[in-house]
Amino acid sequence: MADPSQTTVGINRQRWLQVFVGLLIAIFIFYLLVSSINWRATVLALKQANLWWVLAALASIFINGVAKSQRWRTLFPPAQPPPSSSETFGILMAGQVVNFVLPLRSGDIFRAYFAGRDRGASTASVFGTIGAEKLVDVILVGLAAALVLPLVVLPSWVNADGSQVGFVSLVATAGWLGLVLALPAINRILARWGKRSTLSARLSGIVQRLLDGLTALREWRRLPVLLLWTAAVWGTAITTNLLLFRALDLPPNLLNAVLVLIFIYGGVSIPVTPGQLGVFEGMTVLALSLVGVDPAIALAYALLLHGLVLLLPAVFGGLWLYRRSRSTAG
């Protein structure tokens, strides 16, 4: 029988190896990014950034975090009340900190544990609410891409024009919506399958608890509140981009703000590096370069935005983790 301590050491080594590889990828991407950019112009742009607009963007990011936590609370199933508003916000921020440090979306597992099992509730069901949260954003990204990308000249290596990419996004969005609408039928199939054996019953139960987190997307009474908080999440994200445009003396163009949001979401949705270092900057520079922004200024924008996005979770998530450790120790 394997020694548990040796197993733990092996898991820890694997995690640190993933972090190390991720950092190497981040360094490589960042090197490719800055090797062809006028670094002095980037530094100068950062030095000349308007502090008041930067602070306004920081406030917008804070409101965005509050809106995300409230939307997450809306997605909890009726049989499993969500944590308090402050606790949900703290768990969300702490989960983002974990995502910054560890690869493979470890922060989502962290959120599911502390909002679920740690409260005596179903971890799988809470994980389903996180899936519902991602699903809402994927649908909106798909719709935004279908509307915005046809207006943009994509680089030649994409091997398709904006209208084709927009059409694919629209089809994928329709597929996700179809999945939500088919939930009752899927649950009936799982219930029948679960009667075949003990193993199938266990697997069916896990999948059904995961799908419980998606049920809020079908409840019409919750839909107005869910749409309200989703509008706040996306509205503040776009507002943050517009405010940072002003901070760097770039035209506050709504199309450009949405384009940056689409590219960043598409880039960071696949966890490659800790904190998405390098990937975040690369996707932002690519998006702004498509609309004629100088790459050096685009990099300054990317660094400023990424720094602000990392700052608030580090502060509020760090405070939550500190209070949690103190209460556990007590």
Q: How much is the pTM?
A: 0.78
In SS3 terms, the chain reads as CCCHHHHHHHHHHHHHHHHHHHHHHHHHHHHHHHHCCCHHHHHHHHHCCCHHHHHHHHHHHHHHHHHHHHHHHHCCCCCCCCCCHHHHHHHHHHHHHHHHHCCCCHHHHHHHHHHCHHHCCCHHHHHHHHHHHHHHHHHHHHHHHHHHHHHCCCCHHHCCCHHHHHHHHHHHHHHHHHHHHCHHHHHHHHHHHCCCCHHHHHHHHHHHHHHHCCHHHHCCCCHHHHHHHHHHHHHHHHHHHHHHHHHCCCCCCHHHHHHHHHHHHHHHCCCCCHHHCCHHHHHHHHHHHHCCCCHHHHHHHHHHHHHHHHHHHHHHHHHHHHHHHHHHHC
Q: What is the pLDDT along the chain (330 residues), one digit of tens a residue?
A: 445 444 444 445 555 555 555 555 555 555 655 566 777 888 899 999 999 999 999 999 999 999 999 999 998 877 777 888 999 999 999 988 888 777 667 788 888 888 876 666 677 778 888 888 888 888 888 788 878 877 776 665 555 555 555 566 666 667 666 766 676 677 677 777 777 777 776 777 666 666 666 777 777 787 889 889 999 999 999 999 999 999 999 998 999 999 999 888 877 666 556 666 677 888 888 889 888 898 889 999 999 999 999 999 999 998 998 888 877 665
pLDDT in tens, 248-275: 999 989 999 999 998 888 776 665 566 6
